[in-house]
A and B are shown apart, each in its own frame.
Chain A
Amino acid sequence: MADIAGRLREVFVTTLELDEGTDVENLAYREIEAWDSVGHMTLVAAIEDEFDVQLDTDQVIDLSSFRVAVDLLRSLLSEDVPVHD
C-alpha cells in the first residue's frame, strides 16, 4: 500500500510541475498556484490514468489535499482486493 503514496507523489510532481524540494505530503488544494481549479482537473485526469480508476463528482470536489488523495486511492483500490482476517 505504501506504493500508492509513492505513485501518487509522482503524479502530483509531474502534473503540477512541482520543484524538487516541494513538501508534497502536506500539499493542499489552492495553496500553490499550480494546484488551482485548472490544475485540479488535470490532476484528477492524471490520477485516473495512473490508477485506472474513475472518481465521481463528490470525490473530485473533496480531493482537497495530497493526504486526502492517498486515503481515497487506498480505499478505492482496496475494494478490488479481497480482505482476509
Chain B
Amino acid sequence: MTGTLTHAEREARLLPALVELTAHHRAHCAAYDRILTALGTPDTFGRIADLPWLPVRLFKERELASVGADEVFKVLTSSGTTGGAPSRIVLDRAAAAEQPRRLAEALRPVLGSRRLPMLVVDTPSVIGNRRSFSARGAGVLGMAAFGRDHVYALDEHERPDAEAVTRFLRRHGHTPFLVFGFTFLVWQYLYPLAREHSLDLSQGILVHSGGWKKLADLAVDNAEFRRRLAADTGLRRVHNYYGMVEQIGTVFVEGPSGGALYCPDFADVVIRDPVTWAEQPLGEPGVIEVVSTLPRSYPGHVLLTEDLGVCHGIDDGDWPGKRFSVLGRLPKAEVRGCSDTYAGAAA
C-alpha cells in the first residue's frame, strides 16, 4: 500500500532488501559492478541514503541489465521530456508480471480493489498502434486494469467528445468512477468541457500525472488545478502521481488533502543537495532520488532523477512516511556533470 509504514519502519524493512538488491545487481550486471567498484562503494550500508545511486540519464546512454540476453522479455523505452536518446529498461518475465502488482499496491488506498468505471482523458488512438506505444499510450494501458467500461473523453482527432462523456456520466456518474489522464489533457480538455456542459464529476476519482511544464505555460499550479476542479465540476478526489519509466511500477501518490506526494511501502525518496549530494534537511529543495525494491532485472533500485523536489515532513501528513513535492526539472548542466562522472567510471 501507499504509506502504511512510518519512516522508521520503512527504513528497517527496506534497507536489508535494498542491500540485497545492490549485491544482486553487482553480481549480475558487470557494468553496474564496475561503476560501484570505481566509486569505492562499500558493501555495508547503515541507511537508505547511504546506498549508491545511478543517475537516470545512464539508462539513456547504455542498456544495463541484470538478466541474461535470453531472459529479456521486454525492453521499455522512453525519450523523456527533452528528447534525445531514449532510456532502455530491461524486464524479464518476472519483472513484467511484478510491475502491475506493485502499481496496484501503490494505488489501492486511492482506488480500492474493485475496478471502477473508467473515463480515460485521452484519445483511443494513443493505443491504436499495438506494436509501439507512446509514453501516453503506455500510461493509459498501465491504468486500464484498474477500470471497467472504459470510455475515452477525446475523439480520434484529440477533440473533446462531449457526447461520449455525457453518456458515460449518465450511466456511471451516480457511483464512484475513475478518471485517468495526463494533467495537461485534463486541464485543457476535460475541465472546460465539464464547465461548458455543467457536468457533475463529484463521484469521480481523478488520477493524473505529468505535464506540469505544459500547465505552467497555461499558468496554473497544483493548488489552482484542484481548487478549480472542485469548485466548477465537483471533482474533489484528485490524486497526482509521480513516477518514471526507469522505475516502472513505482509511483508516488498525492494524498487526499493535496499538495504532497507519499511513498508506497516498497519505496522511498531522498532529497539531495545538488552540490554536495548530502541529504537535504526538511524544507530544503534538492535533487530527488527515488528508491524502490521493485527493480530486479536492471539496476534501477536507487536512481538520482533530474527533478527538483522538497521533503516537507516525515510521518506528519495524510499517510505515514515522507511527504514531498516535485518542484520541476533540474537545470540541465548540473546533472550532466554527475552523469559524465558515472559514464566515465563505467567505461
Contact = CB atoms under 8 A, between A and B. Distances in A.
Q: Is the interface of A mostly helix, strand, loop or mixed?
A: helix
Contacts of A45: 148
B223 interface: no
Q: Which of B73, B97, B145 has the most CB of A within 10 A?
A: B145
Interface stretch (B109-117, B184-192, B286-294): B109-117
A54 B114 CA distance: 9
Nearest to B96: A30
B145 A60 contact: yes
A3 interface: no
Interface size class of B (residues with CB under 8 A): 10 to 19
A57 B130 contact: no
A50 to B, nearest CB: 15
A54 B101 contact: no
A54 B149 CA distance: 11
A38 B141 contact: yes
A55 B145 CA distance: 10
A83 B15 CA distance: 47
Nearest to B103: A61
A64 B99 CA distance: 13
B86 interface: no
Contacts of B104: 57-58, 61
Contact of A57 (B73, B96, B113, B127): B113
A54 B145 contact: no
B100 interface: yes
A14 interface: no
Given A57-B113, A58-B113, A60-B145, A41 B150 contact: yes
A37 B144 CA distance: 9
Nearest to B144: A41
Interface of A: 30, 33, 36-38, 40-41, 45, 48, 54-58, 60-62, 64
20 contacts: A30-B96, A33-B130, A36-B130, A37-B141, A38-B141, A40-B145, A41-B141, A41-B145, A48-B148, A55-B115, A56-B113, A56-B114, A57-B111, A57-B145, A58-B101, A58-B104, A58-B113, A60-B115, A61-B100, A61-B104
Interface of B: 73, 96-97, 100-101, 104, 111, 113-115, 127, 130, 141, 144-146, 148, 150
